[in-house]
Amino acid sequence: MQMISVKGLVKDFGSFRALNGLDMQVKAGEIYGFIGQNGAGKTTTMNILAGLSRPAQGECNVNGRDVTKLTHPGDLNIGYLPEDPKFYPWMTAQETLVYLSGVRKTGHIGDILRWTGLMEAQDRRVGGFSRGMKQRLGIGAALIRNPQLLILDEPSSALDPEGRSEVLHLIKELKNMGKTIVVSTHILDDVERVCDTVGMINAGKMMFEKPLAQLQKESAQPLFDITPVSSVRPEILDEMKMLPGVVSLTKTAKAFTIKAVDKEVSVSVMGFLAEHGIVIESFSLRKARLEDLFLQEVNGK
């Protein structure tokens, strides 16, 4: 079952087009990693999904509802963690959750404190919380209405490795409870640790949406990082792309990376470099990471 189905989303801020025909499909019960560079449009998309902002064009169905036609975002029962959640520093964790739950029954708050690992800290003031504890409290706040879908905007980005591990563990637990989670991040290691599907946005467009397992399989192909002593002419690089066994070539500032079908391709690549008199500072072989796929999409193949 689809939890989110988005087609051709467009969002403008004045004359600037932040989303430019974005498509997105999220299945119920999965953890969907939404990745992209700063300014790519992640928060803009998530605000629209949560019913907090309206697109200029496009279809946007969330949990069976057309969010472009909502009159009140509260009609959508989803949990939303903003990029930078704010709390009253003088309230305790428990008071914060009671306050945010308003007139609703508060019986569920004990569960939330337990799930988020804040039971022992429930009577401490939030002002003294670490960033990781604040993020967990923010996720707790998103859980107050017991939503099926959680939209978490960069829950782990500002945290140290321990805080990140705690938040990632909580996200996995929430999935085990049957929830669907969309989580934006630019920490690709986090995506590799928890996500089922990865969607990559660049300049307001979805570049790809793939199961993590498929991405990892695709990245099983070896990479050669080549740093030439001086820059290589573009037509030579184009010729290298055509060598048998070369899958793609990505250029960075001073170096370029070749993805190949197997390690043996390095022989013909080195032969080609020698033939064209290209002096090399370094040539190294390594395994691909999600980071490479990211750069490949952003910089073109």
CB atoms within 10 A of CB 97: 24
Distance of closest approach, residue 49 Cβ to Mg ion, in angstroms: 13
Closest to 117 in 3D by CA, of 197, 53, 161, 173 = 173
Q: Report the C-alpha dihedral over residues 110, 111, 112, 115, rounded to 10 degrees.
A: 130
d(CA 155, CA 77): 20
Please, which of residues 43-102 interact with Mg ion by CB under 5 A?
Answer: 43
d(CA 32, CA 35): 10
Determine the interface stretch with Mg ion among 38-46, 72-80, 219-227, 252-260 (rule: CB under 5 A). 38-46
Of residues 1, 15, 38, 178, which one binds ligand ATP by CB under 6 A?
Answer: 38
d(CA 128, CA 134): 9
Distance of closest approach, residue 126 Cβ to ligand ATP, in angstroms: 23
User: Which residue, 134 or 259, has its beta carbon nearer to ligand ATP?
Assistant: 134
User: Which residue, 43 or 106, has its beta carbon nearer to ligand ATP?
Assistant: 43
Please, which of residues 81-100 interact with ligand ATP by CB under 6 A?
Answer: 83
Determine the interface stretch with ligand ATP among 31-39, 234-242, 269-277, 281-289 (rule: CB under 6 A). 31-39
Distance of closest approach, residue 42 Cβ to ligand ATP, in angstroms: 3
Does 18 contact ligand ATP by CB under 6 A? yes
User: Which residue, 15 or 230, has its beta carbon nearer to ligand ATP?
Assistant: 15
User: Which residue, 44 or 180, has its beta carbon nearer to ligand ATP?
Assistant: 44
Positive or negative, the Cα torsion across 280, 284, 285, 286? Answer: negative
Does 40 contact ligand ATP by CB under 6 A? yes
Determine the interface stretch with ligand ATP among 40-48, 96-104, 123-131, 279-287 (rule: CB under 6 A). 40-48
First to last CA, the chain: 33
Residue ranges in contact with ligand ATP by CB under 6 A? 13, 16, 18, 36, 38-44, 83, 186
Residue ranges in contact with Mg ion by CB under 5 A? 42-43
